[in-house]
Amino acid sequence: MEDSKTKEGAAVDAELAKAIMARRFSPSLIGTEAWEGYIFSDMEIRIKESTDLYGAVLWPSAIVLCHFLETNRDEYNLTDKNVIELGAGTGLVTIVSSLLGAKVTSTDLPDVLGNLQYNVMRNTKDRCKYIPLSLNGLAPEYLSDLVKVHQPSRALRSADQMVLDVPRSFMKTRGNRAFAVVTPTLWNVLPLSVWFANSLSIFKICLKTHLFILAFG
């Protein structure tokens, strides 16, 4: 029984990988500018990478997410939805989300914002916003004002663990999906190894590892 489930899972993974890789296309002509091509929402998307920067290289997980969003576009309808992508990198997820009808604001660190801006402008014709992402209390007020550290009424051990306050929501459909509710809810269930990562690159690695374990066990 276990062997059959394992083989079935491997077959599904292989089929998914084949479908995702089929979305790539190569430049028809060799030019001076290096880029990679992907087909989503019946559009040819050209992505330029900046290999000297860690955050400006396309991660395979971005292609997987884009494939999921498009193949499940009826179940997860993005039309006219307000979406903010934190750490957008090369911007592929931002671009695909926009092509699927979302109103997207993509963010990343100032060092990679130029490459992100180039890809987004080239593929969405200014349909998206792109802003620098700041850490350690330097974020724009319209974001930082929505996230507050939890202050317990009594001295608790959790007071020293960067727990965020989750505001009460009175509307399950809209309120529970608000940035001010979703962000602290997701943050509070992350393991300590993610919370206390001492650099952005380590934080990304720990977070992706945690999410991979949750998804695939």
CB 66 within 8 Å of CB 96: yes
Q: Tell me the C-alpha distance between 86 and 101, whole Å.
A: 19
Range in 69-73, 112-116, 144-148, 171-175 with the lowest mean pLDDT: 171-175
Give the model's confidence band at 99: pLDDT under 50 very low, under 70 low, under 90 confident, else very high: very high
Distance (Å, whole) CA 123 – CA 137: 32
Residue 155 pLDDT: 56
Could you tell me whether strands 129-132 and 103-108 are parallel, antiparallel, or unpaired per DSSP bridges?
Answer: parallel
73-98: per-residue pLDDT in tens? Answer: 999 999 998 888 888 888 999 999 99
Classify the phi-psi angles of 87: left when phi > 0, otherwise alpha if psi is within -120 to 50, otherwise beta. left
Most confident listed range (80-94, 169-183, 188-202): 80-94
- For residue 149, what are the β-bridge partners? 164
Highest mean pLDDT among 1-5, 16-20, 82-86, 136-140: 82-86
Range with the lowest mean pLDDT among 103-107, 126-130, 169-173? 169-173
Using pLDDT thresholds of 50, 70 and 90, give the confidence band for residue 159: very low
**pLDDT for residue 74:** 92
Please indicate, yes or no, whether the overall pTM of this predicted structure exceeds 0.85: no
Most confident segment among 4-13, 26-35, 52-61, 163-172: 163-172
The closest alpha carbon to 63, from 85, 93, 42, belongs to 93
DSSP 102: -
Domains, the chain, in order of start with CATH, read 1-133 (3.40.50.150), 134-217 (no CATH)
